[in-house]
Amino acid sequence: MVDGYGRVIDYLRVSVTDRCNLRCIYCMPEEGVRPAGRHEILSYEEITELAGVLARLGIRSIRLTGGEPLVRSKLFLLVKMLKQVPGIERVTLTTNGVLLEKAMGELAEAGIDGINISLDTLNAEVYEQITRRTGLRSVLRGIRSAMGYPDIPLKINCVPMGIPGQDAAAVAGLAKDQAIHVRFIEMMPIGQGKQFTPKKEKGLLEELQLRYGKCEACEEELGNGPGHYYSFPGFAGKIGFISPVSHQFCGSCNRIRLTAQGFLKTCLQYEEGADLRRLLRAGAGAEELFRAAEDAIRRKPECHRFGREPGHGGETHMMSQIGG
């Protein structure tokens, strides 16, 4: 599938729920948001059916997200179902890690192809400040559990905010002695994230080099996303950066998103796309769904305009409602 700007679209992020067991300060307000009712959320069968349609359009990789995907019951069943969809080559997961220790065995047995864990600090007090919850120990146990499956790639995602005591460089240290890739993700001006000033890649890279030595750019591709990576001396893993505002990569964007309520979203900033749940539940067949998805992808916006047009926000939902 090629969109209107010549980009090959082969990567789908699927939000399985808008619920979360954390309340991260850049993602959700302290009181949370009104969660969608059970009948509003796509069933595993519906997600699998739509994945089949999108696979015909060229989707090859699916990442399960949320909210927090592991609060959804028996997520491993969805992994199994998606792995059986013709054309789907990889099914991966992004989680906050709190529930991963218990779920990891079933996910591995189901065939999960990769795990990303969101972790913004190793300081327990700062973790509680950021997430408004306790749970760092649970996350670290989840990381250890995932490391017990060396054939399943593990990455840590960290959003550096410059909060006193966050010590993003310490999070990078997780890649020193273990084959874990740590990526620093620039804050997006969406929802609660609009109130924060992103910590820039250049300054953080300088900080990392002061602590760990001079790095070298890594040419190896490490996944389906837009991250670029560096090798640090003596590190078993790589350090990556995903900087969508300061280092815009829209020209090579290969992704679309399916929200938990079945809306096919073609750009993170804009609310344009296609309501596939409405069509599916109205009895639309595979061909009608195919055409609706194809039309939405053809109209995928050329680029976001975060940081370039003040007040031009577009998207009005919280990140947890879109799918992180």
Per-residue pLDDT of the chain (324 residues; tens, 9 = 90+): 899 999 999 999 999 999 999 999 998 888 777 889 999 999 999 999 999 999 999 999 999 999 999 999 999 999 999 999 999 999 999 999 999 999 999 999 999 999 999 999 999 999 999 999 999 999 999 999 999 999 999 999 999 998 999 999 999 999 999 999 999 998 876 656 556 666 788 899 999 999 999 999 998 777 666 788 999 999 999 999 998 766 666 877 899 999 999 999 999 878 889 999 999 999 999 999 999 999 999 999 887 655 445 444 454 555 544 555
Contacts of 206 (CB under 8 A, 6+ apart): none
The torsion defined by the Cα of 75, 77, 79 and 84, in degrees rounded to 10, comes to -160
- Give the pLDDT confidence score for residue 193 in this predicted structure: 54
Question: Given this model, what pLDDT does residue 268 score?
Answer: 81
pTM of the model: 0.90
Contact call for residues 133 and 21 (beta carbons, < 8 A):
yes
d(CA 64, CA 92): 6
Q: Is-cis flag, bond preceding 67, omega within 30?
A: yes
CA distance 284 to 269: 28
Identify residue 3 by its one-letter amino acid code. D
CB 19 within 8 A of CB 66: yes
Structure tokens at 109: 């047995």
Supply the pLDDT for residue 312. 46
Q: What's the confidence (pLDDT) of residue 152?
A: 97
- In the chain the first and final C-alpha atoms are separated, in Å, by 23
Nearest to 239 by CA among 269, 214, 264: 214
Q: What domains lie within the chain, and their CATH numbers? A: 11-322 (3.20.20.70)
Q: Which residues contact 313 (CB under 8 A, 6 or more apart)?
A: 189, 190, 194, 269
Residue 191: what pLDDT? 58
